[in-house]
Structure 1
């Protein structure tokens, strides 16, 4: 049996599961749309347009309803997607960065280090499930 949400107050690993689901249908729709569009323009302006709201109202409502800013939510989703790709592919860090919406591998490196206190390369060494990618300990 696998829980979609970890029981007993345990830390959630998924940015989507950690975030409060929005009550406002337009914001909830944006939350569900985001993970499949990480390589697109995900600025507050673009997300507000998608929700049919003004930028100011969208940013305020998103923060109130999810307990996260839109930028922080998007960044968490991008880090989560990068983690999965590091674990399951042999794509370069630069290719992964572009796949999750960053122009440069250096940006992913900086964001990854801030969120997980390690580099993408070290993360891959420890958690890759691809034969030949995982390094000996």
Structure 2
């Protein structure tokens, strides 16, 4: 009974890994772009810390946080790939990658602005985009002195 269970688990695991590999091949370019944007966010974070005098550069913390984000984002995309394959929802995995890229893009812009003493108000940005009006002046504002 135990040997049968082990053989069944091994067979299912190998089939699942082949299915996952084939599914991820469809979005491999998007995954590469996603990981590139995450690394760009890490670099702009380092740039921000180096430009500001009130922050201390801690490479290990930056790398640890980035690796954690990569694991969460990759899991999110894998889940989207599996849901896409099972339910025939087209482009779901690409949309998941674009969500990650968009979030990291906002973080990159925020890091670059903070490096020069400005702050990005994401809430105001979203309000402005939702209104489809001209860009308001409250989106980017000078950081308050601490």
TM value normalised by structure 2: 0.26
Higher RCO, Cα 8 Å, sep 6+: 2
From the two aligned structures, give the one with the greater helix fraction: 2
Structure number with bigger Rg: 2
User: TM-score, normalized by length of structure 1?
Assistant: 0.27
